[in-house]
Amino acid sequence: MSPSPPRPRRMVVLGAAGLAALALTGCSQDPNSIAAQAKSGDQKGYVSGDGAVETIPAADRAKPVTMSGELLDGTPWDITSTRGSVLVLNVWGSWCPPCVAEAPDLQKAWESVQEKSLPVQFMGIDFREEAARGAAFNKKYGITYPSLSDEAGVLILRLQGKAPTVPTTLVLDPKGRIAARVNGTVDASTLIGLVDDVVAES
Answer whether residue 113 shows pLDDT above 70. Answer: yes
CATH 3.40.30.10 assigned to domain 47-201? The reply is yes
Report pLDDT for 178: 98
Residue with the bigger pLDDT between 8 and 71: it is 71
Residue with the bigger pLDDT between 191 and 52: it is 191
Q: Where along the chain do its domains lie?
A: 47-201
Q: Alpha-carbon distance 182 to 165, whole Å?
A: 10
The amino acid sitting at 69 is G
- Render pLDDT for 119-178 as a digit per residue (tens, 0 to 9): 999 999 999 999 999 999 999 999 999 999 999 999 999 999 999 999 999 999 999 999
Give mean pLDDT, residues 63-89: 98
